[in-house]
Amino acid sequence: MAIPLLDSLELKDKDITADALHTQRKFAEYLVVKRQAHYHFTVKANQATLLEEIALMFEDRKQPDFVMHDPPDHGRIETRNIWTTSALNGYLNFPHVGQAFAIERIAIDKKTGKPSRDIAYGITSRSTQQADARRLLEINRGHWTIENSCHYILDWNYDEDRCRIRTGHGPENMTRLRRFAIGVIKSKGVRSVAQTMRQL
The answer, yes or no, to whether residue 134 has pLDDT greater than 90, is yes
The answer, yes or no, to whether residue 34 has pLDDT greater than 70, is yes
* pTM exceeding 0.95: no
pLDDT digits (tens, 9 = 90+) for 36-81: 999 999 999 999 999 999 999 999 999 999 999 877 766 778 899 9
Residue 12 is classified by DSSP as T
The answer, yes or no, to whether residue 196 has pLDDT greater than 60, is yes
Which residues contact residue 54 at a Cβ distance below 8 angstroms, ignoring those fewer than 6 apart?
43, 88, 92, 100, 102, 121, 122, 123
Distance in angstroms (rounded) separating the CA atoms of residues 174 and 163: 10
Q: Which residue spans within the chain are E strands per DSSP?
A: 15-18, 38-43, 66-69, 76-85, 99-109, 115-124
User: Distance of CA 43 to CAs 15, 102, 109, 195, 199, Å?
Assistant: 16, 10, 27, 37, 40
From 27-31, 69-73, 172-176, the region with the lowest mean pLDDT: 69-73
